[in-house]
Each structure stands twice: as C-alpha cells, then as structure tokens.
A and B are shown apart, each in its own frame.
Chain A
Amino acid sequence: MSTMMDMIGSAILFGILALTIIRVQGNLNTTMMENTLNLNTQSYAVALAREIEHDLTKAGYGVTGSKILKADSTEIAFKGAQIYGGSLDSIAYSIGAADTSSMNPNDFLFIRAAMTGGPLSMRCGMTYFKISYYDSLNNILHTPVTGIALSAIRGINIKFRVESLDPVTDPLTDFVNYFAVSWEKLIYPRNLGKPF
C-alpha cells in the first residue's frame, strides 16, 4: 500500500514538474523570441545609422561642382569619394516597395544604390524614413530641393524608424506589437561648404 502511495505521489509530482517545465519552456521561447526581435531591430537601426553617417559625412569629398544630385523628402543622391584619396562614387538612398515577406504590415524596403556596387535593397523593417535639408543659416529648405538650391544645402537631417519584422504577441491579452527603434540626426557634411 505504501509503495502504491509512493508511486502515485511520484507520478503527481512528475506531472506537476513536467507541466511547470513546459510552461517555463513556453515562456522562455516567447522571451527569447522577443529578445531576438529586439536585438535584431536594434542591430538594424545601429547598422543603418552607421551606414548613413559613414556615407553622408563623405558627401562632396573630392568633388568639384555639384555635390548633391537629388534632394527629396524620402530620397537623396550625392557624390563623394568613400575612400581617402579614392575615386569618386555616387550614393543614393531611397525607399522601395512594401516588404511583403515580413509579418509587419508597415515596413518597406530601404535601398542604397552606389555607382560602385550597384543597388542594395535592404529588408530591415523600416517603417519611416524622412530627410530634411538646411542651408548655411539653418533655414529649412522645402523639398524637393532642386536646381541651384541644391548647392545651398549644408545640413541634412535624417530620421528613420525600424520595427521588428515579426510581431510579439502578449499571451494574456493577445495584443500584437512590434519592437521599434527611432533614430534621427542632423549631419553637416563638411565638404558641402567647399568654395569650389
């Protein structure tokens, strides 16, 4: 009888522990997924920020004449050598079509096109991208900036928001959410003020 009670008790204990572990495993998976999505979103944002800063700070470097080729609210094209003493390159940023391969309904492709290397369409969960332009007196220039006004550009403000490609669902409320990182910077490419 005593042995029987032990076996029943062990089974119950095992069942409780098994259920607990399964629940913990479920929560762990959710947490890990959230962390991964969060980490990916942050990584995308940091990588994009560094890429944009890297390119824009070189706008006009080694260039004589027109340095900004196109300046619109979601598109910019400029010239500049990307390597110290290197040959000229042309870089363009623009937004592409909606990213239908992700579960985020708001994200779109972000395109970096370079004369050397060609266009690169990035699937990074970008949901907002806006560029504004400033002259030497920090007056905002209305977009699109065209013609001779392109040479008046001294400051370029970039703002973007990237979100996770997949949603995070709260198991209790079923609320669907996306991790998001916003980044904004006013960059003064030093070579835009060159007198030639």
Chain B
Amino acid sequence: MLEQIKKEKVGKMKKLKEGNDRTLRVALVLLPLFIFLAILLAFSSVSYAFDSNPNPNSNPNPNDIHATVRVVPSAGTECIPNPFVVGNPKEKVFTCYIELDTVSSSKIIPSTLRLSLVERPVTPIPILPKSPNKIGDFDGDGVKDMKVTFNKTAIDEWFQDLYMPTDFTFKINGEIEGIPGYIFTALDRITVIKPSYTFVHFSGSGGEVKAIEGIDLSKATIISSNIEKSGHQMIKLDLVKFNFVKTWEDISSTVSGTVPMEVLRGRYVNLGFTAWITYQSNDCVFTPSPSSASYSFLECDGKGAFFKRGLAVGYSRKDADIHFETDGTTATMIAKHDGVVVFEQSNVPLKNFAFEVETKPWFLFAS
C-alpha cells in the first residue's frame, strides 16, 4: 500500500516535473518569439512611417530635381549694300557685320555661316572663300563684330521674280566656338530693288511733270518722245530707288469691287488725261492710236497696269472712285468723281493683271 502510494507520489511528482518542464519549454519557445514579434512590429511601423522613397538608398535627398538651362548669345547683323539692287554689275559682294551678345564675335565659326531669307525659301549661301572674317566695330557701338562677305550674284538669283521694291529679312545662321550644338540667327532688314522697272509718265506742251520725293527723273531714259506728236514722252528709270506709295490689289480672281482712286492729282496736259501709271516686271506694249495720241493704249503683262488717255479733260482724279468688273479675262472699269463718270474702259485684257491703287499721288501735273 505504502509502496503504491509512494509510486503514485513519484508518479505525480514526475508528472508535475514533466508539467513544469513543459511550461518551461513553452516559455523558452515563446520568449524569443515574443521578442522577435516585438522587433518585427516595431520595425514595420517605423519603416513605413519614414519610407518616403521607394529606393531610399539611391539618393540622400530623393526629392531633388536638377534643372539646367543654357543661356545662348543673341546675334545681330548689319549688311550692305542696303538697298540691295539686283544685278548691279558694280557690286560683287554682299557684306555683313555680325555681332554676338555677351560673347566675342571672334568665337563665330566662319565656315558654319549661311545666308538665307526669312520670307521665302532659298538655297542658303556660305561665305566667300575670300571672306575677310575680320573683327572690328563697323557700327561703332562698342561691340566687336565679324565682317564676312557673300557672293552677291548668287543672292541676285533669289529675286529674279521681283517686280517691285520689297523689304526682305536676311538671315545669317552660324555656330559659335564653345557652345556646341547651338546655331545662332542674326537678322537684317534689306530693301531689294530689281531694276528696269519702267516708270512711265508723260510730259509735253502745256504741262510739267514734277516727281515726288524719291524719284530722280534726271536719271530717266527717254524711250519715246513726242508720242504721236502729242509732245508726251515715255521714260524709263533704271537703278533708281523710289518709294511706291500705293498698294496693289490683284483682281485676277475678283469678280467686281470698288476701290478708291487717287491716281492723279492732275491738271490737263493738252488734252484730258486719264492714266494708271505703271511699273511691271515686263515691258509694256504701247499701241499708239492712229488717229490721236489721246487714244493711245499701253498694256502691261505680269504685275502691271495699263493706262489710257483722252477720255477726260482737265479733271482732277483726286477722291474719284473706280469701279471695276471682270469676267476673269477682261475688265471693265469706270471712274467717277462726285458721281460723274470721268473715265470708262471696257474689254481690257487682264493677262494676270494687277490693279494699281494709289493712296497718295506720286507725281504732279501742273499746267
């Protein structure tokens, strides 16, 4: 019995010991787990709170944006001759002086320079092989410039279709030493004149021609004198710069319209005088009237005009209006002043005709 009780006590103690051992083992297992979980929990919270960058080790300040800009120098140029006369045999080169802002013009790379136009596509022209490429101060503004020259004959080719003096923007592009990849643009405004415009006027008995400012009639070439014994002349002005104080209106596709007329602030010259004085790219065809110079006829191809004489006498055309109608091949024109028809012309061939409208008188007739 005692033996049995002893065994039971031993058994209980063994169980108790085994139980204590189990509790200890559980505790030993849980403690590291608890520590691990606590660390994991703390780490996960902290890292999330401060994880502002997907790749925090790549850049100490991950939200920096680096910006760059290259400030490049502006360029300017002044070219001569201005005005530029197409085909002038005395002028072989076109000279330009190029300045750079904040950078010495000596940094310009001459071999990269190209001359072209802003207003129309042309083949860019390089500088001449003998271009001086000299550094100086052409315009005396204290900024050094580079003198370069271009083949003027090559530039002439750009303007073969020019029919009236026109301002063009000449453009020079080029590169600068030390600023790779940058192509500067320098601009200059040049008046281009293609000579051999025919400037026609009449002078004769009883009349005197007075040119407005800018027209040097002393350089006129007399083409025809005393036309049909009227005492009138047709003259041609070459290589003369003058200001056209009129606008042009192409009526080749216009059905009808009314334009103000201030063609002549005139007095009569012998007979009455009604005219559209003209310049054009081609010579006009003058058809003298077999009966009277008053009915002679001038017709011009291309951009031009025509005039006809003899339908009005002693009349000022100032403030008159011209009404014109066209079917695309011919035109009818009627000029009125104060409601009175002072000129009428029908069946005028158009032939790409451009109608000339003056906003100011550009020469005067005086009795």
- A associates with B: no
Q: Which residues of B contact A (CB under 8 A)?
A: none
> Which residues of A pack against B, CB within 8 Å?
none
